[in-house]
Amino acid sequence: MEKFKKLISTAVALSLQDVDTDQIIPARFLKATTREGFGDNLFRDWRYNANDEPNSDFILNQSEVGGEILVAGKNFGCGSSREHAAWAIYDYGFKVVISSFFADIFKNNALNNGLLPVQISDEFLLKIFAAIEVDNKTQLEVDLENEQITIIQTRESENFDINPYKKYCLQEGYDDIDFLISKREEIEAFENTISI
Amino acid sequence: MGAKTLFDKIWDTHVVHSIKDGPQVVYIDRHFIHEVTSPQAFAGLKKRGIGVFNTSKTIATADHNVPTKDQHLPIKDALSRHQVNTLINNCDEFGVELYGLGHPYQGIVHVIGPELGITQPGMTIVCGDSHTSTHGAFGNIAFGIGTSEVEQVLATQCVLQRKPKTMKIQVDGKLKQGVVSKDIILYVISQISTSGGTGYFVEFCGSAIESLSMEARMTICNMSIEMGARGGMIAPDETTFEYIKGREFAPNGTDWDKKLAHWKALKTDKDAVFDTEYHFNAVDIEPMITYGTNPGMGIGITESVPAINPTSDPSLTKALDYMDLQGGGQLLGKKIDYVFIGSCTNSRIEDLRMVADLVKGKQKADHVNAMIIPGSKQVEKQAMEEGIDQILAGAGFELRQPGCSACLGMNEDKVPTGKYCVSTSNRNFEGRQGPGARTMLASPLTAAAAAITGHITDVRKMLN
Ligand code: SF4
């Protein structure tokens, strides 16, 4: 996993609520057996029409906007447990997803892949959408160390919460499996005490 | 010691290690895997040069990506074939038991665990699939995980998790005629929304829940993820024990007696406190149907679709646009094109019996394409033994072979663009059943009724 410290970038605004994992990556693209390449089909059915032509209304097809941050409406990532959703977003080039609420499994999956889910208040989310609407070159700063997000142009900022252990993992590029493997002996001892 | 919820009791006895201010290392009793979310996890083990920690606790099947016709022939789609073969090779290499295509136990992962008696009370159960919550109907902690976590469990038999909060959902009273467990859960989700349960683990209780069969309880727990919850559970009781007894992998002899004594103690203490509670009355529940593009967008079959205000609600506007429905209108009488009866929500033998009882001696509407996909080889076998296959065929339904099928449109079973499908599955997301497909979630009874009349129908009018 790559290390994450601080990111300053323009952002892509997707102002819809309840964006589910079937939209992030439709099931028919889950047939791969490796983790790479899912970015090509990120938001596939919103990005392309039925004839596989890019849909010019969709934000990712509007070339003047871009960046490593995705900002989305409330309850982002609901639906299936497919980690492919986090892989697709990361593979496409996003390092941070901002929303006022994340579905649980998606949040875990993102954190396990170095994709930082930043959960902020509904009010601050509206401010970000508004700032981007006025100027799509608006830059956001995501500072993991200080757990703070700032709209550079307006200097408005808000703090976000992240679990200290997960923060450490992101900063160090350390993942859960490394940690669990280091606990193998303890797990074996536990297993010997149970009867199920 | 303070009073505890059932969830706390099971969770706390499975914690191996707690990280200060961080997640806990939770031991997993049963791990189910399937072809779609496991290949990258096995690849991770190979990269690290390690094996599976305890092969006796992992069970594999092929379900998401398999054809539901001619399962004896090689899979036509090259990518699907490769994915299923990768599972076969990985199970072989790592020594994991596989109930793959052609095996008498093959089926949807959340159907086979319970029917084989692998799923038992008091356990921790995970699978790289969000509907793992289904297993909670037996009074255990079961939840879906991502592929990195599948790798964690394969490597260490544990996952790192933060303990969720607890929620109680109590449903009391007697269900009205024509209302079944699918309607209960669609009703609950419509009341508390698709994110209302996020961060929580739910215990369902109350007289309406206790009166349900195990299969009906599974339907409820199955969809607890659709309100955002990590999982749902129902305390085990005589109905649970009766269901498990005698199944293939159920304990027997003195082991059964020992387990039973343990299971009987699995209850929430009287004074235990939940972080959140909801109470509902069974009599308020009508047969339900969804009109939008998430499972929270559901209404009673005789109710109207909510009116929209495009400026204040872009998500609802987008949903109704996609569904090509009018805000404020009724769904009753709306012409439909497809009926899909299947998925880990409603593909068990009781679901098939329910449908067969309703359609016996009737004919599906000519313009409707009605398919039924049994949840497992065992369900399929039993349906044949009971003559259900004949009844369904007689009514013009197509009975296919076990798998996830059009629930997620990963294989060739899809609903075409723009077509309406009344579906017993669990998700009506845009494109879930195929690009452009318009899904309306409902119970097997409501779906079967729509197949017969060819439009959205109040099934109560067809009963008696
Ligand atoms: S039937 Fe549908 S919801 Fe259930 S496991 Fe299969 S794809 Fe997932």
pLDDT score recorded for residue A88 = 97
Site of tokens 């309703």: B358
Q: What is the CATH number of domain B288-463?
A: 3.30.499.10
Residues B194, B427 contacting (CB under 8 angstroms) = no
pLDDT score recorded for residue B412 = 87
Cross-chain Cβ contact B145/A166 below 8 Å: no
CA distance B459 to chain A (A): 29
Which among A18, A180, A190 is the nearest to B160, CB-wise?
Answer: A180
Atom of ligand 1 nearest to the CA of B345: 4
Task: List the single range of A30-34, A94-98, B243-247, B271-275 with lowest mean pLDDT.
Answer: A30-34
Quote the tokens at residue B373. 């996909």
Residues with CB under 6 A from ligand 1: B 63-64, 108, 110, 129, 131, 343-344, 404, 407-408, 425-426
* CA-based nearest residue in chain A for residue B50: A181
Q: Is A178 on the interface with B (CB under 8 A)?
A: no
DSSP per-residue string spanning A64-118: T---SEEEE-SSBTBS---THHHHHHHHHT--EEEES-B-HHHHHHHHTTT-EEE
Query: What residues of B are in contact with residue A183 (Cβ under 8 Å)?
Result: 16-17, 25, 156, 158
Which among A82, A84, A104 is the nearest to B228, CB-wise?
Answer: A104
Q: Which of B32, B108, B109, B143 to mutate to test the pocket of ligand 1 (most atoms within 8 A of CB)?
A: B108
Q: Is B410 on the interface with A (CB under 8 A)?
A: yes
Number of residues that this document lists for chain B: 464
pLDDT score recorded for residue B397 = 98
> What whole-number distance in Å separates Cα of residue B142 and Cα of residue A156?
42
Q: What tens digit of pLDDT does each residue of A132-149 get?
A: 999 999 999 999 999 999
Q: What tens digit of pLDDT does each residue of B8-43 get?
A: 999 999 999 999 888 999 999 999 999 999 999 999
Confidence band of B1 (pLDDT split at 50, 70, 90): low
Task: List the single range of A26-30, A85-89, A125-129, B198-202 with lowest mean pLDDT.
Answer: A26-30
In the stretch 78-137 of chain B, residues with CB closer than 8 A to chain A read: 79-80, 82-83, 86, 120, 122-123, 128-130, 132
Residue B347 CA to ligand 1 centre (angstroms)? 11
Confidence band of A174 (pLDDT split at 50, 70, 90): confident
Query: What residues of B are in contact with residue A83 (Cβ under 8 Å)?
Result: 37, 40, 128, 146-148
In chain B, domain spans: 6-161, 165-235+252-284, 288-463
Confidence band of A196 (pLDDT split at 50, 70, 90): low
Cross-chain Cβ contact B199/A175 below 8 Å: no
Which among B82, B408, B427 is the nearest to A33, CB-wise?
Answer: B82
**Does domain B6-161 fall into CATH 3.30.499.10?**
yes
Q: Which of B143, B343, B400, B439 to mutate to test the pocket of ligand 1 (most atoms within 8 A of CB)?
A: B343
Count CB pairs under 8 A between chains A and B.
187
Q: What tens digit of pLDDT does each residue of B287-323 get?
A: 999 999 999 999 999 999 999 887 778 889 999 999 9
Mean per-residue pLDDT over chain B, rounded: 96
Of chain B, the percentage scoring pLDDT greater than 90 comes to 96
Helices B181-192, B214-222: inter-axial angle, 10-degree rounding: 20
Q: What tens digit of pLDDT does each residue of B153-211 get?
A: 999 999 999 999 999 999 999 999 999 999 999 999 999 999 999 999 999 999 999 99
Whether the predicted pLDDT of B394 surpasses 70: yes
Which among A28, A84, A104 is the nearest to B409, CB-wise?
Answer: A28
DSSP per-residue string spanning B319-371: HHHHHT--TT-B-TT-B--EEEE-TTTS-SHHHHHHHHHHHTT----TT-EEE
Q: What tens digit of pLDDT does each residue of B340-376 get?
A: 999 999 999 999 999 999 999 999 999 999 999 999 9
Which burial class, exposed, middle or buried, applies to A29 when counting CB atoms under 10 A from its CB (0-12, 13-18, 19+)?
A: middle
Cross-chain Cβ contact A187/B16 below 8 Å: yes
Number of residues that this document lists for chain A: 196
Higher pLDDT, B311 or B396: B396
> What whole-number distance in Å separates Cα of residue A40 and Cα of residue B330?
39
Confidence band of B413 (pLDDT split at 50, 70, 90): very high
Of chain A, the percentage scoring pLDDT greater than 70 comes to 99
Residues B202, B305 contacting (CB under 8 angstroms) = no
Of all protein residues, the one whose alpha carbon is nearest to atom 2 of ligand 1 is B407
Q: Is A50 on the interface with B (CB under 8 A)?
A: yes
Q: What is the average pLDDT across B214-220?
A: 98
pLDDT score recorded for residue B441 = 98
Report helix, strand or coil for B3.
coil
The domain B165-235+252-284 is classified under which CATH number: 3.40.190.10, 2.30.290.10, 3.40.1060.10, 3.90.120.10?
Answer: 3.40.1060.10
Which among B36, B145, B149 is the nearest to A30, CB-wise?
Answer: B36
Cross-chain Cβ contact A104/B23 below 8 Å: no
Confidence band of A102 (pLDDT split at 50, 70, 90): very high
Assess whether the region B6-161 and the region B288-463 belong to the same CATH fold.
Answer: yes
Q: What tens digit of pLDDT does each residue of B84-99 get?
A: 999 999 999 999 999 9
Q: Which of B404, B410, B414 to mutate to test the pocket of ligand 1 (most atoms within 8 A of CB)?
A: B404
